[in-house]
Amino acid sequence: MVTLPDSADAFQDATWRDVVPYYEDLATRPVNHGNVEQWLADWSEFESMLAEAAALANFAYVCNTADAEREAARLRFESEIGPKADEQRIRLQRKLVELGYVTPELETTVRRFRNQMELFSEANVPLFTQLAKLSTEWSKVIGAMTVDWDGEEKTPQQMWPYLEVNDRAVRERAFRNQFKPYIEKRDTIAGLFDRMYDLRQEVARNSGFANFRDYTHREKNRFDYTPDDCFRFHEAVEEAILPVTRRLLDRKRKYLGVDRLRPWDLWVDPKGRPPLKPYERIDDFVARAGSVYQNVDPDFGRYFERMAKAGLLDLDNRKGKAPGGFCDSLPHRKLPLIFMNAVAIDEDVRTLLHESGHAFHVFEASNLRYLFQRHPGAEMAEVASMSMELLASPYVDEEHGGYYSLADAERSRRWLLERAVYFFAHCASVDAFQQWMYTTPEGRDADARDQKWLELRRRFEGDDVDWSGLDAERIARWYFQPHFFDYPFYYIEYGIAQLGALQVWRNSLSDRGGAVRRYREALALGATRPLPELYRAAGARLIFDSAGMRELIGLVEEELAALDA
């Protein structure tokens, strides 16, 4: 039996040659009902150490995409080790499935193993290697983007604060600047996407599917809903959400005193107040977050403090840093890390609350014995993050150690709820776009994709915002979205989870302590229950219909009407 090293750091510089003996030992070791639990524990511990090394390599790279050594380390894990490790995992999954060993806590794990075994094709291993390399190439292109702002070099992300100023001309200039690099690099980015598209469709065919959409719905273990349910979701957004969006936008238009809203009017305070300024320095941003979480639940405050002390937060935006934000897990240490691009605006608070919800999920599920039991899939993971945004929102004022005066905290809470409403149009656009893209030949054509994106934005957003003369900027919005490039089909989960989070929030309005307790209990279940049961544990249910959406959004509208902000 091969002995594991004492520390995950031992895999930091590992090559495939260093890793494969561990897989070979697990694959050839005799396993029966008497020793299977120890075998699973050994497998889980090895995968935890390898996953932690890969996560740290990725974290180091996205924090500085211009560093060649970090790029090489990330590529080593993602293109050399990762695809071959996936192949070896199929061997081990088959070993467990064929043994016929299952317990109630492992039932969903075994079901997933069986599903992944059925999908596996050896021909896809080199294709995933190519996709990993393209992902790194895309990150470099985006990470290198800058804009000129009054003679100063800034990142596109650093245009966000200027979208909140009261000077409309400045907002327009910032808006155009934000998307300018994406417009200029459109052919480069579209070319990278074409190559990704071809590889993904080939992956699907190799696994016996007609298209990448059908393959991915299976690959993501979506046992509890189908593509048709996603189409129901799109239609429900039109029916239940769009009318509320129109009312909110009309309120904004009237307060701003303009005939037509333009896209650079959507982030500014409608009453002409100065932009919310939650913090001056990143260390203050972090310290105040800990106080906010302490009010939700003392354990959450302690969890966040552990992350900060361990140096597992990289929050500020800078040149060379990859776009977006995420939480990742270091499963050997049973700690999470958070990456984001903060620029000292209110949205940063929301992003940190969101990613911290993921982090608390890692902590709560870490007591489960096996790594395979801990991650339930994005549909529940995003309930953890989106619920935290809502559960923490009453504590963002200075009286609770947060960021704002009482009046500004109310403004922040109002924007949180408005954003929850506006989000559904974007979510439906992103999912409908991918559903179309991967199931029609026109999805391979860059110009056809751009036109389809415009069509879908008009469908889900309506005509309350005047986009005339801005087709290029509107198209650039999809090039701005990392999920299309790095996490295909990872988006409908946000919409499903937002509805779950709104139910957790609804419960908290009448019983805050009970809602937080059920939320924690659901997170602690990890992946040991099917998705509908995880939602029930949190006090929620899966919703795809307009009636269910309308009920929750109606409650949001009532809350907004009560906020004098």
Q: What is the mean pLDDT of residues 331-343?
A: 96
pLDDT for 2 beyond 80:
no
pLDDT digits (tens, 9 = 90+) for 418-434: 999 999 999 999 999 99
Q: Return phi, psi of residue 29, to 5°.
A: -70, 130
- For tokens 């339930």, what's the residue? 376
The residue whose two tokens read 């009920």 is: 551
Q: At what angle do helices 546-562 and 492-510 cross, to 10 degrees?
A: 50
- Rounded CA-CA distance 419/53 in Å is 36
**pLDDT for 75-103, tens place per residue?**
999 989 999 999 999 999 999 999 999 99
**SS3 for 422?**
helix
Closest CA to 349 of 307, 390, 306, 407: 390
Residue 1 has pLDDT above 80, yes or no: no
Please state whether beta strands 313-316 and 335-342 pair in parallel, antiparallel, or not at all (unpaired).
parallel
The 10s digit of each residue's pLDDT in 403-462 is 999 999 999 999 999 999 999 999 999 999 999 999 999 999 999 999 999 999 999 999
Single-letter code of the amino acid located at 524? A
Task: Compute the distance between CA of residue 117 and CA of residue 124 in angstroms, rounded to an integer.
Answer: 13
DSSP state of 4: P
C-alpha span between 389 and 487 (Å, rounded): 22
Return mean pLDDT, the chain: 96
Kindly report whether the global pTM for this prediction surpasses the value 0.85.
yes
Cα dihedral sign, 40-46-48-54? negative
Phi, psi of 529 (to 5 degrees): -135, 155
Distance in angstroms (rounded) separating the CA atoms of residues 323 and 155: 10
Tokens representing 458? 């008009």
